[in-house]
Structure 1
């Protein structure tokens, strides 16, 4: 059994992830900002922890991370306000990594996006620029830590049923169901081969996609 703390515990992916982890015997803490969301988190078998990660410093984050075996960052501002996007998707994410190091929790899985590269190509005047810039900065911060980090970079998210199969795509294309992203997170937490890697993926086609465990293997 592992103890997993999931930031962004009420997100669509996190709500699909928690039952997968609980079913295999893990203990899950879902971090949420709105206490009204606690029931949804707990319905999936996780424990809800109300905390405002946007304002917490490294020491405060370390206190809630300490005692866990792994951190999953699936939190986000949801777009719209660039200032808040940077505050959550970049600054809070980076603080959580520093907090994980401070707390002695080395395993860290970042849910990024398939286009998170230095040359992501989003124009500065585009409303999506803040998100693209913030995610790239957070990914780079993780690469610079001493954590056992994995960056998962899914393609455009869909509400399709899970396929159980993905295509690793270094070129950064494709769509993928949220349910399959949740399954990839769960699998990556127990697959040492994912440590230190950035995995860009989509669902691919029937002829190209592999079972998730096979796709993540070395």
Structure 2
């Protein structure tokens, strides 16, 4: 694959880049500052400098180059409402249109489980973050792209276990970012998974097996 990652300097995006490179895939990404490029270049990753919030659709499409897959792993992490709208909302819409213009058919979005942290008093900004993430999911799911939306549980920096629970609906717990990246890489390598929303939590199933279990089955003929 030739994959372009929006959010490649984030934790999940960076781990995903390493997963893909180790598997022989070409990886590119978007960084905000030129000084971020050397560390990525050392991994074999080419980076384009640009600010997602301020870039035009045309500029983002040009940055995609010859990529056949775009991954949107950027996020404001529940920061200010302005940042949330610019990145988690408008940024996704911009990426969808840029993918169309660049001729990129496959776009994977790292979203969030709607139940995350619902037991807490989150405050207005974080509640707004969840609302914007849902609107972005809707926008992508209504697009004509070959999309995948991955909704992980609460992200933690623990060592990955290599096992998960993955499906259309999962309980909310927590999951290592390393397992999120490994699962996303496996999903990207499975072209039969398309136009699906998958929720991800810690669990007992080896990642590749969990991904294969979500390949749509042929519909049964009716008489």
In structure 2, C-alpha distance between the alignment counterparts of 1:14 and 1:71, rounded to whole Å: 12
> 1:25 corresponds to which residue?
24
In structure 2, C-alpha distance between the alignment counterparts of 1:66 and 1:30, rounded to whole Å: 11
Structure 2 portions without partners, runs of 5+: 216-223
> 1:213 corresponds to which residue?
208
TM-score by length of 2: 0.87
Bigger CA drift: 33-42 or 53-62?
33-42
Bigger CA drift: 77-86 or 147-156?
77-86
Contact 1:33 1:52 in 2 (8 A): yes
Displacement of 1:47 after TM fit? 1.2
Contact 1:166 1:215 in 2 (8 A): yes
> 2:143 corresponds to which residue?
145
> 1:135 corresponds to which residue?
133
In structure 1, C-alpha distance between the alignment counterparts of 2:18 and 2:164, rounded to whole Å: 20
- Summarize the alignment of residues 185-196 of structure 1 with structure 2, pairs less than 5 Å apart: 185-196=184-195
Structure 1 portions without partners, runs of 5+: none
In structure 1, C-alpha distance between the alignment counterparts of 2:51 and 2:76, rounded to whole Å: 12
Displacement of 1:216 after TM fit? 1.4
> 1:203 corresponds to which residue?
202
Displacement of 1:187 after TM fit? 0.6
In structure 2, C-alpha distance between the alignment counterparts of 1:216 and 1:30, rounded to whole Å: 25
Contact 2:115 2:172 in 1 (8 A): no
Change beyond 3 A, Cα 1:97–1:36: same
SS in 1 for 2:3: strand
- Summarize the alignment of residues 17-166 of structure 1 with structure 2, pairs less than 5 Å apart: 17-115=16-114, 126-166=124-164
TM-score by length of 1: 0.89
Displacement of 1:171 after TM fit? 4.2
Contact 1:7 1:74 in 2 (8 A): yes
Contact 1:18 1:45 in 2 (8 A): no
The structure having more radius of gyration, on CA atoms, is: 2
Displacement of 1:28 after TM fit? 0.5
Contact 1:13 1:181 in 2 (8 A): yes
Displacement of 1:45 after TM fit? 2.6
Displacement of 1:44 after TM fit? 3.0
Displacement of 1:9 after TM fit? 1.1
Q: Please provide the CA RMSD for this pair.
A: 2.1
SS in 1 for 2:160: coil
Contact 1:115 1:172 in 2 (8 A): no
Contact 1:122 1:132 in 2 (8 A): no
Change beyond 3 A, Cα 1:130–1:40: farther
Q: What's the CA shift string for 1:76-108, capped at 9, x where partnerless?
A: 123321111101110011110111012110011
Displacement of 1:25 after TM fit? 1.2
